[in-house]
Chains A and B, each alone.
Chain A
Amino acid sequence: GAGVSQSPRYKVAKRGQDVALRCDPISGHVSLFWYQQALGQGPEFLTYFQNEAQLDKSGLPSDRFFAERPEGSVSTLKIQRTQQEDSAVYLCASSLGSVRFFGPGTRLTVL
């Protein structure tokens, strides 16, 4: 389909392990957003890209979190030395105008 795709859909990591989550936005979408959604909560903003430029990373919870979008399309969210509190669904969204289209998310469980 032509929607936002994310991989992997599920990831189980041991505490201390590094993980990388991938987002493929809708082709041509300039804006890309990452959100973190804990169980029973609404999504929380992490970071925003316009093309390859990371214009806002104010929501990244610690320096263990790093995101990139080197060619202005695919984006990767990396979490180093995962902790149990990192367990959540990580949602990626892309947009050309005002409507955001969300991907299905990656469910990360840190044991």
Chain B
Amino acid sequence: RKEVEQDPGPFNVPEGATVAFNCTYSNSASQSFFWYRQDCRKEPKLLMSVYSSGNEDGRFTAQLNRASQYISLLIRDSKLSDSATYLCVVTSGSSNTGKLIFGQGTTLQVKP
């Protein structure tokens, strides 16, 4: 079983739709949580950190449930430019020095 599990999709949604991605992680000692975005044939880039209290950045909302070891990402009012792969990431150890453990990624295609 992978340490971080995501539904690979693809999720095909129309512009303007709201879409939610989920991810589960197996190591209860994981300390930091992130969503990264990866465009086709490009490197991963940090989208946002995820906190237990939930956090929002514009159209993006991330949530962490430590008890269920579950992380979510909600995208409202989808844009064509949101089409990408979204990687759920946890750290093993310190957020500064710990290794990032990536999920397989969930592919989003936003259609006109």
Contact = CB atoms under 8 A, between A and B. Distances in A.
Contacts, number: 48
Given A95-B96, A98-B32, A45 B101 contact: yes
A interface, size bucket: 20 to 34
Contacts of A33: 99-100
Interface residues of B, number: 19
Interface string A43-75: 111001010000110010000000000000000
A27 B74 CA distance: 35
Nearest to B88: A42
Interface of B: 4, 8, 32, 42-46, 87, 95-97, 99-105
Q: Which 7 pairs show the lowest CB-CB distances between chains A and B?
A: A42-B102, A102-B43, A98-B95, A45-B99, A43-B102, A42-B104, A42-B105
